[in-house]
Structure 1
């Protein structure tokens, strides 16, 4: 039998609120729903998932898994209220103390609290048992959600566990609502009286800078509270020398609330971190702290990553998380992530708070599930657990789906509970623009879960493309299952591994530049982190523990440069000696003016410069300007690069845009081509006008076959048109 690590409270109960961390070693054993195991032969670290047990067992063969831990409770704890808090556990959790049933919850992503002191054995060892179920054991009313691309749903206690002792009155919930224009913090405090008697209390509220300890504000007030009651009170504090929270200056405060009786005896003391940060939508823009902001980053499919066989306990190793969530993204010009299909382990948000990363927190609804009442309950707890994180700037209830109850009833109620953040699918809507991969290169109509490019460019609300780049390779650069028909379409059946890897970076550059040219406010290719063996994999090669970025990350670093450049050049074919006017876009994503230097020209494939010119471009804050420049192509046929580099003069940082240019000899025609009759099936006259200019006889194809036609040209744009499908049989019969 493996002994679980015991926890002794010792003589620490003199502190008014004492929190005991129950993370660490527990015992675990698979079992039945109603009968705990008689013996425990496995151990496990909490937090984690049941597949981390030692020794390992086939968890998928069991519907229930039992955790066990021993704690020593001294007699000094008598008279205090005790709460067992499980921050995150799935799928379905029930708690016993010393064999006594305490309670249960079907919440899988939000915190659970159990009052347990009536079951204590004081001055003795106490046994806590927690049962978790497999996903299939959840009742129909569960709001667990759906994810069709998740490999497995592994149960376990995946959040922190702690035991809290308090006196008869406690601070139950704290909500910090900043107003940066007035340097004011509105603190909503839910104070709970756990006794039967009414009490008069004195509350001291202090705001302290996390880094320096500087006291920014103090306030004292008194109040009466009835027995067995919870009372909401609001305190307004004005911060001295206020420091705002932003990605570049992630300044954090903590609010400390001390509750006393009239004799000065302390009932409780609680504290929570927050940042003086505001995020809102105005028209078609996002605003952070009163200034427009452009969001650049990707997606983290945390719960899909939990299915990765190489995951181990990495999601709970905070040094690894900091490298993944803050350091690597900032090195690559990311400032924003969507937590895709499910709230992450809570400490990730603490790290994002400290590192200045912005997050859109998405519930695991790829189609809603569960009862209205359960969704309201879990959404409310979701907000209360997380609303003091300055890193979370957007709530997101749904992925690629709609739900009348969620969008029309529940979100308005949640916005009253937390009025400080916008909701995706209510205040604005995301687009998943899988062009130039799953779809054609450019497609100016709705496609999948995306509006047309024109509607995205001229959106009435902030445009967000948080999924694009359908080009997914695993850690060894093998294409994922979703790439089966995609790669041959673009690269042919005989393409090489290097060509596949290079094309991923090529698409990252091409599409990110396109969306910057369209002034998309939030750009997030898919997907930074997911399960390696899943449909979309992730952007790290080799062992995930080492976090070695794939080449696509360097392409995105360049494409996300705040002072950026993009050559608008879709036609990559030219004649020798041709002169062409080319439009170059220059961007400034900063909230301040920038002086930039633009270099533009032509070079050989080996990098040798053939032509180059430089101009200075003054860029206003958050601006996008265009320059039309003349380019003279060489007299020799071959492959070349048109390139442009925008450099920030003050920082010397730069971005490069580079487009392939294929230069051909000018075609020559003899008199015989004038006798060729060409049928044209096209919405435009561009091809017809060119062929007519060099002497071809052109006739329009209107569905009637002309037996005298020698050639029938169907423009690419017609292949998605209704006319093409209507006339397809006639076209096919003409060809054959």
Structure 2
């Protein structure tokens, strides 16, 4: 490195020195290290002597400047990436100084001031590192270095790597926040909150682990709790425990019950949040800890096979977010870490009448869960396993360790309703996963349901995700729905006994890239359905109409607990397997045909034309009779008219019929309609329409008369 480069490097280091004060600390401080870090590539065993690149944390390393070559694929350029940040603390170092790296890939090793602090191999859960032995206070510079593996091959097969058979690049990096936690001893290790709803009194049960890190006993240690409304800050409940004595270097667990007066329930339409503040007191406050929670309970009722939120049936209508696939999108940038963009993404779910989402084959950054809590989105939290078989090294104990970290990290989020252990996993592999599930199940005091792919339901309150991809057969047509079983059976589908709690969260197989071209998996489908020379507009319209028809089909017969479209966020890249439905990522604009037809198919009060005309054409003047079922997902009765119309391609009404409906809360009602196809040849459409909350909700079929 020449003199000019040395000067540039020194200046660069100086720009990342941050000074934090600990002199007035009476309780826990959380110092956020997000922002610009220096970074360099190299070997696994040697810290680089210089750092010539910069990258934002959180983020991934294809975003570094200047850019690295061939990031995320195995090559001879590097074995690891090394991050570097320099910081100072004013005042003395407190008793507890813990670095938390929320998530990083692949394998994390931390160094402070040239000393090895520790290593955390799991790639999808937080790593905690004790900086106390090497941390300098009193305004002396500290050099923090974090090493991550360059590819998924950097971690052993005993660690979950997040394999996805429809990905090709595995981007490394510190992709979630980094915080330095400073506090005194005794301190709070973890808190778990279980809301308990009862007719006479609502409470929370609280489990608190407290550690005395000192080499001597701590006397007169007392826990004190405050419950606050998150938005107003109003204290609505308090509780103080009895003084206790802690032995040296010991951990104690406490169980407390706190009454919540006039509790406001957490609901998708009103996601009311509370904060539990826990204080550890001796002659002073040695530590405090705040955790957000919502008053809500969730379960599947094995008698009805329905999901219940706060003891009321709740149909799970939604989509999927595939954040790690999105990182293969050429336009991904820092969008996954832009809080305004992510909040808008979650709000967009509500525009589609979606109340739920599967975080699919991996976890997004932690603030996504905070946003889902705040926006009232129910989350099926899926661990990043999608493999035809598990490596021998990935034992039950290894899975148990990672599942334990996962549960402890997400357990207090009201948005998280299902622990989803894997995606499309065969029975043999799922059997091993099932053993790990049983080892960790009791860690969640709220006893959320689990999903374990073809491992089935271990308990009658668990659930099963079904993927009835009918269009996977390139010959399939919408008219085939006429004779199709209303139970989502088949491979990767619900068991034939039809007695389980089923969520359909993948079902169409009609993906298009954002430019309207066919995805890798759907070229033969569109060639068959709309022709090899079909325009992007023709394909997009077919996608919208067909996906809406399938959605209506799976919802209308009331055989399943939920229907979730795949997918709400993915990639759009050359030779990509699947895609989402955005036409503009920055503004998050839905493709218009998709929004027009599919949003109606998910309406809380929805309807279906139980009619799928032959694509080859129908006979002029033929008489037809068909049902139009109306479903009501709301807690109130719906009364109104349903209009069925036949219209020409120019919009001229050929025939229309009105019938009155009275649909009970959570119910279904249908009437039969008799009509006659037009006598003139041409292109037509038939529409069934109702009004719900001032919206005109339609079910649409297009057909041609021969």
In structure 2, C-alpha distance between the alignment counterparts of 1:373 and 1:282, rounded to whole Å: 31
Q: Would you say the 8 A contact 1:12–1:18 is kept in 2?
A: no
- TM-score, normalized by length of structure 1? 0.86
| Aligned-partner Cα distance in 2 for 1:658–1:45 | 47
Deviations 1:5-64 (A, max 9, x none): 112113554232111111111110111111111011111111001111111111353220
1:412-465 Cα shifts (integer Å, max 9, x gaps): 22221114210112322111111135363445494332248xx5xx83222211
Per-residue deviation at 1:168?
A: 1.5
SS of the counterpart of 1:350? helix
Q: Match of 2:587?
A: 546
Who is 1:518 aligned against? 557
Q: 2:656 matched to which residue of 1?
A: 612
Distance in structure 2 (CA, Å) of the matches to 1:488 and 1:109: 40
Structure 1 segment 326-345 matched on structure 2, within 5 A: 327-345=347-365
- The 3-state SS of whatever aligns with 2:266 is coil
In 2, the alpha carbon distance for the partners of 1:91 and 1:527 equals: 26
Deviation string, structure 1 residues 204-234 (Cα, Å, up to 9, x no partner):
1111110122222111002332221111111
For residues 641 and 57 of structure 1, what CA distance do their matches in structure 2 show? 54
Larger Rg, first or second structure (1 or 2): 1
- Residue 437 (structure 2) aligned to one of 408, 411, 424: 411
User: Given the alignment, which residue of 130, 147, 163 partners 1:131?
Assistant: 147
**Which of 151, 154, 157 pairs up with 1:140?**
157
Q: Structure 1 stretch 604-613 or stretch 125-134: which is displaced more?
A: 604-613
The residue matched to 1:353 in structure 2 has which SS? Answer: helix
Q: Is contact 1:143–1:371 with CA below 8 Å preserved after alignment? A: no
SS of 1:242 mapped into structure 2: coil
Is residue 592 from structure 1 mapped to residue 609 from structure 2 by the alignment?
Answer: no
> Post-superposition shift, 1:633?
3.2
Q: CA shift at 1:346, angstroms? A: 0.7
The 3 A distance-change label for structure 1 pair 477 and 636 is: closer
**Corresponding position of 2:67:** 56
Cα offsets for 1:138-158 (capped at 9, x unmatched): 112112242111131111001
Please give the alpha-carbon distance, in whole angstroms, between the structure 2 residues aligned to 1:600 and 1:251.
40
Which residue number corresponds to residue 423 of structure 1? 450
Take 2:651 and 2:155, find their aligned partners in 1: how far apart are those partners? 60
Q: Secondary structure at the match of 1:546?
A: coil
Contact 1:465/1:522 (8 A) holds in 2? yes
- Structure 1 residue 531 corresponds to structure 2 residue 571: yes
Match of 2:398 among 374, 378, 400: 374
Q: 1:220 to 1:406 in 2, by over 3 A?
A: farther
Cα distance in 2, alignment partners of residues 13 and 119 from structure 1: 21
Q: Does residue 169 of the first structure (1) align with residue 186 of the second (2)?
A: yes
- Report the counterpart of residue 290 of structure 1 in structure 2: 311
Decide whether the 8 Å contact of 2:280 with 2:287 is kept in 1: yes
Aligned mates of 2:535, 2:153 — CA distance in 1: 43
What is the match of residue 716 of structure 1? none
Give me the whole-angstrom Cα distance separating, in 2, the residues matched to 1:462 and 1:596. Answer: 31
- In structure 2, the CA distance between the partners of 1:437 and 1:509, relative to structure 1 (3 Å rule), is farther
* Total equivalences in the alignment: 653
Q: Which residue of 1 aligns with 2:6?
A: none
- Counterpart in the other structure of 2:325: 304
CA–CA separation in structure 2 for the residues paired with 1:628 and 1:406: 50
Sort the Cα spacing of 1:196 and 1:438 in 2 relative to 1 into closer, same or farther, 3 A: farther
What per-residue deviation string (whole Å, max 9, x for no partner) do you get for residues 257-290 of structure 1? Answer: 01111x3x11101111011111101021100111
Q: 1:558 aligns with which of 581, 589, 600?
A: 600
Aligned twin of 2:369: 349
1:464 matched residue in structure 2: 503
Q: Which moves more between the two structures, 390-399 or 198-207? A: 198-207
Work out which of the residue numbers 401, 411, 422 in structure 2 matches 1:398: 422
* Residue pair 2:396, 2:435 contacting (<8 A) in 1 also: no
The match for 1:384 among 390, 401, 408 is: 408
State the distance in 2 between where 1:506 and 1:255 align: 47
Of 395-404 and 268-277, deviating more is: 395-404
User: Which ranges in structure 1 are unaligned for 5 or more consecutive residues?
Assistant: 665-736
Using the alignment, how far apart are the partners of 1:108 and 1:575 within structure 2?
60
In 2, Cα distance between equivalents of 1:211 and 1:437: 47
Q: Is the Cα contact below 8 Å between 2:152 and 2:170 reproduced in 1? A: yes
Residue 281 (1) aligns with residue 300 (2): yes
Report whether the alignment pairs 1:435 with 2:470.
yes
- Unmatched segments (≥5 aa) in structure 2: 1-8
Aligned to 1:241: 262
What is the distance in 1 between the residues matched to 2:601 and 2:430? Answer: 38
Q: Distance in 2 between matches of 1:216 and 1:150?
A: 48
CA distance, structure 2, for counterparts of residue 75 and residue 121 of structure 1: 9
Deviations 1:389-413 (A, max 9, x none): 1111111011101425544311122
2:624, 2:51 → 1: CA distance?
Answer: 77
Q: CA 1:653/1:93 → structure 2, altered by over 3 Å: closer, same or farther?
A: same
Instruction: Tell me whether 1:73 sits opposite 2:89 in the alignment.
Output: yes
* Structure 2 CA distance for partners of 1:459 and 1:596, relative to 1, 3 Å: farther
Structure-2 separation of matches of 1:641 and 1:73:
70
Whether the aligned pair in 1 keeps the contact of 2:397 and 2:436 (CA below 8 Å) is no
Match of 2:5 in 1: none
Q: CA deviation at 1:528?
A: 1.3
Kindly provide the CA deviation profile for residues 65-86 of structure 1, in whole angstroms up to 9, marking residues without a partner as x: 0001111123422x52210110
Q: Which residue of 1 aligns with 2:490?
A: 447
Which residue number in structure 2 is paired with residue 671 of structure 1?
A: none
Match of 1:113 in 2: 128
Residues 516 and 537 of structure 2 are in contact (CA less than 8 Å); yes or no, is this contact kept in structure 1? no
- Which position in structure 2 is the counterpart of 1:40? 51
Q: Is the 8 A contact 1:70 1:125 kept in 2?
A: yes
1:495-506 pair list within 5 angstroms: 495-506=534-545
Q: Contact 2:494 / 2:502 at 8 angstroms: preserved in 1? A: no
Cα contact 2:609–2:688 (8 A) shared by 1: yes
